Amino acid sequence: MPIDLRQVAAISGMSGLFKVVKPTRTGVIVESLEENPKNLVAQARHRMSLLDEISIYTTDEEGTVPLAKVFDLMHQKYGDALPLSDKPGNEDYKKLLADVLPEYDEERVYISDMKKLVNWYYIVKKFVGFKEEEAAAPAAEAQDSKEEKA
């Protein structure tokens, strides 16, 4: 996938997202993803979720879609600016998610989840970034040509 969320985490009770820096004896050192990053130690008592392990519920046979794929779909469809006003209402969030992921489960995906999704999308876009697929394609072709020569 064009975005790597393996080192990006959300910590319950703390706003924003964090980059996992390294483990310690009592937890992990994380760095906030913001203009002026701060380091802190997330201990065992903190509930920390890696974004790579989070999925959105769907009604299809798969049952879920990884968050990275949802972010990628949002980026492909809307790029840098999501079609939301300055103070979007609940219907705006529902329409956005329905446009990006029509098969999302309306009973299990709450408005608060959608708001978090939009907030996280902007943070990830700004501080993690999306890799362009055109750049990934030549690298794959180069790898294939190396294998053919071997």
Amino acid at site 148: E
Give the start-to-end residue ranges of the domains of the chain: 8-51, 54-130
Once rounded to an integer, what is the mean pLDDT over residues 17-34? 92
> Can you tell me the distance from the alpha carbon of 19 to that of 37, in angstroms, rounded to the nearest whole number?
10
Instruction: Evaluate if residue 72 carries a pLDDT over 60.
Output: yes
pTM summary value: 0.80
Q: Parallel, antiparallel, or unpaired for β 39-43 and 27-32?
A: antiparallel
The per-residue pLDDT for range 39-55, each reduced to its tens digit, is: 999 887 889 999 999 99
pLDDT > 90: percent of the chain: 57
- Tokens for 20, please give them: 């996992």
> Can you tell me the distance from the alpha carbon of 88 to that of 127, in angstroms, rounded to the nearest whole number?
23
Higher pLDDT, 63 or 129: 63
Q: Residue 136 has what pLDDT?
A: 42
Decide if domain 54-130 falls under CATH 1.10.10.1650: yes
- Tokens for 51, please give them: 């974004």
Once rounded to an integer, what is the mean pLDDT over residues 121-139? 69
